Amino acid sequence: MIISGRSTEEHLNNLDTVLERLNTYNMRVNCEKCEFFKDSVTYWGHDIQSESLQKPLDKISAVVNAPKPEHTQQLRSFLGLINYYRRFLPNLSSVVAPMNELLQGEKVWKWTKACDEAFSTVKEQCNFRPSFVPLQP
């Protein structure tokens, strides 16, 4: 669980509410596994900070160090990885269009120069730091 608030007071009220609710249903919390008043957390592949959402460095390196796909399954895996971080990659659908064409219908696998350029562009965009998205109020 991630419990937050806009101020320390709100955070403590929210925490108290959650702990009361857990107690009501006879659920326990292992305090050794709890962390309180963190400035940032990593959750579902994103670094969440008070004002922004960022890509974790390990995910950036997974994209940057990914080998060039040699068949459709590798391409699907790569596109799945970058699609998860699409909010950080401007015009992603346009950039990866040449690679997506390889997945259409019964096309024969042919890695073109356009695919190579798209692959390089995505890696460059992903490697750019800081890459963050402001959190909505």
Asked if 55 and 124 count as a contact pair (C-beta separation under 8 A), the reply is no
Closest CA to 88 of 53, 114, 115: 53
The sheet that has 132-134: what strands, in order across it? 40-43, 46-49, 52-54, 132-134
What is the mean predicted confidence (pLDDT) over 47-72?
A: 75
The more confident residue out of 126 and 23 is: 23
* pLDDT reading at 17 higher than 90: yes
Both tokens of 132, joined, read 């963050």
Q: Which of 16-20, 33-37, 106-110, 121-125 has the highest mean pLDDT?
A: 16-20
Judged on CB neighbours under 10 Å (0-12, 13-18, 19+), 119 is: buried
* pLDDT reading at 118 higher than 90: yes
The mean-pLDDT minimum among 46-50, 59-63, 101-105, 106-110 falls in 46-50
The answer to whether the pTM exceeds 0.85 is no
Both tokens of 66, joined, read 């990914």
Judged on CB neighbours under 10 Å (0-12, 13-18, 19+), 59 is: buried
Predicted pLDDT of residue 62? 78
Residues in the chain: 137
The mean-pLDDT minimum among 8-12, 32-36, 53-57, 122-126 falls in 53-57
Predicted pLDDT of residue 133? 47
Q: Which residues pair with 6 in a beta bridge?
A: none
